[in-house]
Amino acid sequence: MKHIVFLIFILWAGSVSADKPAYRIFNADGNPVDFHTMQQVLEAKDIVFFGERHNNPIAHWLQLELTRHLYNHAGDSLLLGAEMFEADDQLILQEYLNGRIAEKNFKEEVKLWTNYQTDYRPLVEYAKRHGLAFIATNIPRRYASMVAKGGFEALESLGQPAREYIAPLPVDYNPDLPGYKRMLKMHHMPGRKSGSGNLPKAQAIKDATMAHFILDHFKEGSLFLHFNGTYHTNNKEGIVWYIRQKAPHLDMGTIATVSQNRLDQLAEENQGLADFILVVPDNMTKTH
247-276 pLDDT, tens digit each: 999 999 999 999 999 999 999 999 999 999
Cis check: omega of the bond before 161, within 30 degrees of 0: no
Residue 6 falls within a domain, yes or no? no
Cα 163 to Cα 166, 167, 168, 199, 246, distances in angstroms: 5, 8, 7, 20, 19
Instruction: Provide the domain limits for residue 92.
Output: 24-281
Within a domain: 177: yes
As a whole number of angstroms, the distance between CA 228 and CA 157 comes to 28
pLDDT of residue 15: 42
Is 15 domain-assigned?
no
Residue 14 inside a domain? The answer is no
In whole angstroms, give the CA distance from residue 47 to residue 231: 17
Helix axes 90-97, 121-130, angle to 10 degrees: 60
The pLDDT value recorded for residue 20 is 86
CA distance linking residue 191 with residue 106, whole number of Å: 40
In a domain, 100, yes or no: yes
pLDDT tens-digit series, residues 17-53: 568 899 999 999 999 999 999 999 999 999 999 999 9
Q: pLDDT of 55-73, one tens digit each?
A: 999 999 999 999 999 999 9
pLDDT digits 0-9 by tens, 141-188 = 999 999 999 999 999 999 999 999 999 999 999 999 999 999 988 765
The pLDDT of residue 147 = 98
Q: How confident is the model at residue 12 (pLDDT cuts 50, 70, 90)?
A: very low
Q: Give me the number of domains the chain comprises.
A: 1
Q: Which residues of 4-31 are buried (b: 16+ CB within 10 A; e: fewer)?
A: eeeeeeeeeeeeeeeeeeebbbbbbeee
Inside any domain, residue 2: no
Contacts of 88 (CB under 8 A, 6+ apart): 136, 140, 165
Is 196 within a domain?
yes
Q: Looking at the whole model, is its pTM more than 0.85?
A: yes
**Does any domain span residue 79?**
yes
CATH code for the domain of 152 = 3.40.50.11550
Q: Which of 157-161, 182-186, 239-243, 277-281 has the lowest mean pLDDT?
A: 182-186
